[in-house]
Amino acid sequence: MGEAQRTLLQLLAIFCMALICAVVLHKGVADVALLAQDHSGQKFWVALAKYFLRNIAGGAGPGA
């Protein structure tokens, strides 16, 4: 495999990793925004804690 192919594959891998990070970040922001819209004040923090605990356990996002 030539040097140009290695460089191209490295760039592709970096792009894919950045894309995965962007998708995860977007989902997190969207889920927290939905929680903020549905809950206010102290209820938001309780809902956020439940959301994180559900996600650690592999559950679904808000509204599920």
Average pLDDT, the chain: 89
Q: What is the mean pLDDT of residues 10-20?
A: 98
Distance CA(53)–CA(31), nearest Å, equals 14
Q: What is the mean pLDDT of residues 21-38?
A: 93
Measured distance CA(54)–CA(41) in Å, rounded: 21
Residue-level pLDDT at 51: 87
Give the span between the Cα atoms of 31 and 34, in whole angstroms. 5
The model's confidence at residue 1, banded by pLDDT at 50, 70 and 90, is confident
The whole-model pTM stands at 0.68
Q: What is the DSSP letter of 21?
A: H
Q: Cα(46)–Cα(38) distance, rounded to whole angstroms?
A: 12
